[in-house]
Amino acid sequence: MITSQTGGLGLLGHPAGHSKSPEMMNAALQMMDAPYVYLAFDVTPAVLKQAVEGLKALKFKGWNVTIPHKTSIMEYLDGVAESAREIGAVNTVVYQDGKWTGHNTDGTGYLRSLKEETSLDLSKQRVVILGAGGAARAVGYALATAGVPKVTIANRTLDKADRLAEHLSRWTSTEAIAISDCQDEVREADLVVNTTSVGMFPRINETPIPADWLHHGQIVSDLVYNPRETALLQAAKLKGAQIHCGLGMLVYQAATALELWLDKPVPIQLMKQVLEASLS
Ligand code: ATR
């Protein structure tokens, strides 16, 4: 029940109306008996500063941040956690010890979901990441700092792949390659992760690489969650590879944010069920 003691949590984004986070977060908060409500706010870049000042004045416990504010939010915070600084993006703001701190739960959320859903030994994985944008940065950082021995960045724009590979080389061995030329690297990989938007609704028949590059014994992971099983994952399954779909990352990045705000165990299965129901 909402009372005068109910505190605020939420999401700042533009657009924000399509977000499934309110359903997922409020179901979890209710189950946890936590006295908070989670709201989505459509905030344009022009009013981000005022929106943040408003949330601070209203004593929100924290909030999530999505496109297009993941970098620009940093200037309104007292500090940024190391992982968010290295990824270059904040998706969760937490009020703690009198300070507003920016975190990034996308990378850790991805890794938690991957560990949960696949038989993965990170210390042995040769990884190919398809794409070199914001999502690739978060996933690449999480994998590189978790002990993966080699990460290959394959991207349409080679220059961007070069820059991300150079950044990640502080933590692991890396290389950059054009996505059209990564056949050998994909064949030799234990884990292939699609972070591009290729295959997303409505262009559901497209794959970022030819499906016959994939094979049995690999894990193929796709951050696209609409459709839940992309053409890439369907092809990987037919080849006998293990598949990992993008829904898990969405659930775990939200669960990790809730843990940061409330420091309590979170009902992850319930969040997953609510998200699946809201997407179907
Ligand atoms: P996000 O934050 O979701 O990662 P982004 O930063 O815009 O989004 O990055 C999108 C990624 O998908 C990029 O790596 C992009 O490749 P380019 O750097 O060459 O633009 C990749 N991408 C998008 N559409 C693509 C397509 N049709 N084929 C191949 N790669 C594509």
Residue-wise pLDDT for 99-115, tens only, equals 999 999 999 999 999 99
pLDDT of 204 over the 90 cut: yes
Q: Is the same domain home to 168 and 270?
A: no
Kindly state whether residues 61 and 114 are assigned to the same domain: no
139 touches ligand 1 (CB under 6 Å): no
**Predicted local confidence at residue 12, as pLDDT:** 98
Confirm or deny that 158 is annotated as ligand binding. Answer: yes
Residues 59 and 154 in one domain: no
pLDDT higher than threshold 90 for residue 192 = yes
Q: What are phi and psi of 95, to 5 degrees?
A: -95, 120
Does residue 199 sit in the same domain as residue 113? yes
Helix (H) or strand (E) holding 163: helix 158-168
Percent of the chain with pLDDT over 70: 100
Burial of 176 (0-12, 13-18, 19+ CB in 10 A): buried
Closest ligand 1 atom to residue 156 Cα is: 19
Mean pLDDT over residues 116-126, rounded? Answer: 88
Task: Identify whether 2 is part of a domain.
Answer: no
Do 40 and 157 lie in a common domain? no
Structural domain includes residue 270: yes
| Predicted structure pTM score | 0.95
Ligand 1 center to 158 CA (angstroms): 11
Tell me the C-alpha distance between 215 and 239, whole Å: 5
Q: Are residues 112 and 95 in the same domain?
A: no
Q: How many residues are present in the chain?
A: 280
Residue 132 Cβ < 6 Å to ligand 1: yes
157 within ligand 1 shell (Cβ under 6 A)? yes
Å from CA of 125 to ligand 1 middle: 24
Q: Kindly state whether residue 75 falls inside one of the protein's structural domains.
A: yes
CA angle (143 as vertex; 139, 144 as ends), nearest 5: 115
105 in ligand 1 pocket by Cβ < 6 Å? no
Ligand 1 center–CA 196 separation, angstroms = 5
pLDDT average, residue stretch 54-79 = 97
In a shared domain, residues 141 and 185: yes
Predicted interface score ipTM higher than 0.90: yes
- The predicted structure's pLDDT at residue 250: 96
Assess whether 142 and 218 both reside in one domain: yes
Structural domains counted in the chain: 2
State the pLDDT at residue 121: 86
Which residue out of 196, 209, 224 has the highest number of ligand 1 atoms within 8 Å of its CB and is therefore the one to mutate?
196
Buried b (16+ CB within 10 A) or exposed e, 247-261: bbbbbbbbbbbbebb
Task: Write the single-letter amino acid at 176.
Answer: A
d(CA 86, CA 141): 8
- The answer to whether residue 163 is domain-embedded is yes
Domain of 122, in residue numbers: 108-245
Indicate which residues carry an active-site annotation: 70
Give yes or no: residues 113 and 212 share one domain.
Answer: yes
Residue 51: pLDDT above 90? yes
CA 42, CA 44: separation in Å to the nearest integer? 7
CATH number where 130 lies = 3.40.50.720
Determine the distance from the C-alpha atom of residue 112 to the mean position of all C-alpha atoms in its chain, rounded to a whole number.
11
Using DSSP's 3-state secondary structure scheme, residue 18 falls into coil
Q: Which atom of ligand 1 is nearest to the CA of 223?
A: 3
Contact 43, 68 (CB under 8 A): no
The answer on pLDDT for 146 being more than 90 is yes
- Residue 253's SS3 state is helix
The CATH number linked to 274 is: 3.40.50.10860
Average pLDDT over residues 247-272: 97
In a domain, 1, yes or no: no
- The DSSP 8-state label assigned to residue 45 in this structure reads G
User: Do 120 and 239 fall into the same domain?
Assistant: yes
Are residues 116 and 98 both part of a single domain? no
